[in-house]
Structure 1
Amino acid sequence: MRHATHDHLVYVSTLNTTGILAVNRPKALNSLNLAMVETITNALDAWRDDDSIHRVVITSTSEKAFCAGGDVRAAREGILAGNSDAVDQYFNEEYEMNAALSAFPKPIVAVIDGIVMGGGLGISMHGSHRVITEHATAAMPEMLIGFIPDVGSTYMLPRMAGPGGTPSLAVAQFITLTGYRMSAADMLYSGLATDFVASSDVMAFIDMVVAESLDEALEHYAGPRPTDSWMKTHRDAIEEVFGEQEFATIIDNLNRCDDHEFVTTVRELIESANPTSLVAATLLTAANATVSSVRHALDNEFVVAATLIRSPNFAEGVRAVLVDKTRDATFSPATVAEVDPAPFHELLSTN
């Protein structure tokens, strides 16, 4: 080991030619706060042009979670305290970190052995390799808290393709709008995950990455991939319903869909969602499916995010899901039909 630092929230170390980031906030399921974002960004800045660092591994000290998202509870507290500018700063710095990960010139290997949601996807999906285990699950549950999918997900997801075939706006919209919790098989099928290693082999896999090479570690430890993907089973319905620019059209398609199991599942997933978030997120993902860079997509996400966090729906949604955990949010407008999409059209840029 060349050197290591420990700041309690992220372990930063270099071992041989590998930079290692281990997120370490287990009681909060590794939710990213500003200090964690700054630590990760500073490490990337130090390693970017360091010829002795050939790759970066991002992992977790938690047995339950890789990273459950950004610290939206703290964001809610900031909004309620009237510190919206400070909350904007948090999101801006998080998105700068996402951009830095996307532009990093060396392999980044995220090792996901547990829950990954929201901002956790932001520190994993932009890298070259997303290595998961059978314990991995992924979701974008932002609709339930009055927010939108962000951290570059609305750029990356429409461009990902696994064994499921070509990149698909419909698959991206399904993931971002429903908050469906993807299994390991779903993650591999959609392209969200690139490689599979058994949970029992994770530490040995990382050790071989460090001691030998990424290619050798993948060749040695890659296990049989799970194939029981619910998304694969219902892919035709996903394409039929979700490949749209407007959420109202998605609902029309859902009403006509003959896959009753799929329809029931989708209705259950979106039943407690914020209608404004559903409308905004559909427009955002459709717009960012066409932009030419992650940076442009993050800018679009930021302007929509800054608008939504100032709405009472955000504080209400975070309260119901993460503070009181009652899941009884009351959103306004209460229905999708009452939401005016025009302000979000005006915010988004595709040029």
Structure 2
Amino acid sequence: MTASPVLFDQRGHLGLITLNRPRQLNALSFEMLQLIDAQVDAWLADPNIRQLALTGAGERALCAGGDIAESRLALEAGNPQLFYDFLALEYRLDVKLNELPKPYVTLLDGITFGGGIGLSAHASHRIVTERSRLGMPEVRIGFLPDVGGSWRLAEMPGEVGMHVALTAGTFGAGDALAGGFADAFVPSARLGELLAALETEAADEVVARFAEPAPEAELLPQRDWIDVVYRHERVADILAELDALSTAGQAAVGEAAASIRQMSPTSLEVTARLLRDARAEPGLRAAVAREYRVGMHLATAPDFAEGVRARVVDKDNNPQWRPARLEDVDPAEISRMFETDATAALFG
């Protein structure tokens, strides 16, 4: 018998969700989203369930993001509506989890990328460990930081979030806590004890009792150059400043420039605009509405198919972006992607 891709357990007063695809780093399929959505509704109606928690099977990841292979099949079959439906369900579920009237504790243990951020980083109680590695690396495949990630990145101190977004960078527990993606650090060896305590005790008390001092942040101490470089509106100007600074011998600066040059120019411009708009109009609902509208454009654009081919399928890491240069990205086309408000389409 094939195991369910999501496991649900009632343990005392706790409703526990376990993403159960460890070989795929718990990547999210459409079926998984449907299962979680239905079970959350059932637990919300059950007075015996006082709080919810989310974890991932295995020790490598909470969730590495959406199931790219599933999305690619839908698009290759000429049925982009299936992918749009996936995004809409995912975004609505992320908002539902963010607005739960019951405490919701998420364990961001191991890799937590993309869709994993959506399920976990908007929760009421977010736990990171020494194994945590967070990121929104969608510009690597010609897409955008979605599931509310554009808002979370925009809320990081200074320009750190812009740096992470444009370089497809990752960060650990220290930056997650300092940057607003997490609330407490708990060593991975104690997560089992924490979940057991949640069966009978209130989330606030449990998290406070298990929390320990976090590792030092790695990115925030680099704000002396990050805030200077990423203040520019145009990505081409950001790159130019990175190039100028890298000649002074700062290795991290040169690495950032090299990373950005590997990304889809269209996705880079879209992502920079998303983060600026998220600062002007913060909040999860506003963020996912923007991401949904722009994501529908990018889903059928050449770079998404090419990015998935190069990074996920063939793994040659040599995507042929169209256009290939930032200078050739049409600003008017980027603006058109943002014109329609998708709030009603998502939330009615």
Q: How many residues align?
A: 338
Tell me how far apart the structure 1 counterparts of residues 226 and 282 of structure 2 sit (CA, whole Å).
25
Does structure 1 residue 90 correspond to structure 2 residue 86? yes
Task: Give the 3 Å change call, closer, same or farther, for CA 41–7 of structure 1 in structure 2.
Answer: farther
Matched letter for residue 226 of structure 2: I
Tell me how far apart the structure 1 counterparts of residues 298 and 143 of structure 2 sit (CA, whole Å).
6
Give the corresponding residue for 2:225.
237
Unaligned ranges ≥5, structure 1: 1-5, 161-166
Task: Give the 3 Å change call, closer, same or farther, for CA 259–188 of structure 1 in structure 2.
Answer: farther
Give the corresponding residue for 2:310.
320
Give the corresponding residue for 2:119.
123
CA contact (8 A) 2:14 2:50 kept: yes
Give the corresponding residue for 2:210.
221
Tell me how far apart the structure 2 counterparts of residues 46 and 294 of structure 1 sit (CA, whole Å).
23
User: How far is 1:71 from its partner?
Assistant: 1.1
Superposed, 1:147-296 pairs within 5 Å as 147-160=143-156, 167-168=157-158, 170-227=159-216, 229-257=217-245, 260-296=250-286
CA contact (8 A) 2:297 2:337 kept: no
User: How far is 1:21 from its partner?
Assistant: 0.7
Q: After superposition, what is the alpha-carbon deviation per residue over 1:219-254, rounded to whole angstroms, capped at 9, x for unaligned?
A: 332223111x32022122221122344323322432
Q: Please state whether the residue corresponding to 1:143 is helix, strand or coil.
A: helix
User: How far is 1:299 from its partner?
Assistant: 1.4
Select the residue among 321, 324, 327 that pairs with 1:334: 324
Q: After superposition, what is the alpha-carbon deviation per residue over 1:30-69, rounded to whole angstroms, capped at 9, x for unaligned?
A: 1101011111111222233433322211101121110000
Tell me how far apart the structure 2 counterparts of residues 58 and 26 of structure 1 sit (CA, whole Å).
14
Tell me how far apart the structure 2 counterparts of residues 293 and 200 of structure 1 sit (CA, whole Å).
34
Matched letter for residue 225 of structure 2: A
Tell me how far apart the structure 1 counterparts of residues 331 and 50 of structure 2 sit (CA, whole Å).
46
User: How far is 1:140 from its partner?
Assistant: 1.2
Give the corresponding residue for 1:78.
74
Instruction: Answer with 218-227 or 329-338: which moved more.
Output: 218-227
User: How far is 1:349 from its partner?
Assistant: 5.6
CA contact (8 A) 2:13 2:199 kept: yes
Tell me how far apart the structure 2 counterparts of residues 299 and 7 of structure 1 sit (CA, whole Å).
34
Give the corresponding residue for 1:163.
none
CA contact (8 A) 1:234 1:262 kept: no
Tell me how far apart the structure 2 counterparts of residues 302 and 259 of structure 1 sit (CA, whole Å).
40
Does structure 1 residue 14 correspond to structure 2 residue 18? no
User: How far is 1:283 from its partner?
Assistant: 0.8
Matched letter for residue 188 of structure 1: L
Identity of aligned residues (%): 34
Q: After superposition, what is the alpha-carbon deviation per residue over 1:291-321, rounded to whole angstroms, capped at 9, x for unaligned?
A: 2542222111011111111012111111111
Select the residue among 114, 127, 137 that pairs with 2:110: 114
Q: After superposition, what is the alpha-carbon deviation per residue over 1:109-135, rounded to whole angstroms, capped at 9, x for unaligned?
A: 111221011111000111012101101
User: How far is 1:7 from its partner?
Assistant: 6.5
Select the residue among 43, 46, 55 that pairs with 1:47: 43
Q: Please state whether the residue corresponding to 2:8 is helix, strand or coil.
A: strand
Superposed, 1:129-144 pairs within 5 Å as 129-144=125-140
Tell me how far apart the structure 1 counterparts of residues 285 and 220 of structure 2 sit (CA, whole Å).
31
Task: Give the 3 Å change call, closer, same or farther, for CA 298–219 of structure 1 in structure 2.
Answer: closer
CA contact (8 A) 1:154 1:288 kept: yes
Task: Give the 3 Å change call, closer, same or farther, for CA 155–236 of structure 1 in structure 2.
Answer: same
Instruction: Answer with 18-27 or 214-223: which moved more.
Output: 214-223
Q: After superposition, what is the alpha-carbon deviation per residue over 1:79-101, rounded to whole angstroms, capped at 9, x for unaligned?
A: 11111111111111111111211
User: How far is 1:259 from its partner?
Assistant: 7.3
Matched letter for residue 93 of structure 1: L
CA contact (8 A) 1:196 1:223 kept: yes
Tell me how far apart the structure 1 counterparts of residues 48 and 320 of structure 2 sit (CA, whole Å).
53
Unaligned ranges ≥5, structure 2: 342-348
Q: Please state whether the residue corresponding to 1:22 is helix, strand or coil.
A: strand
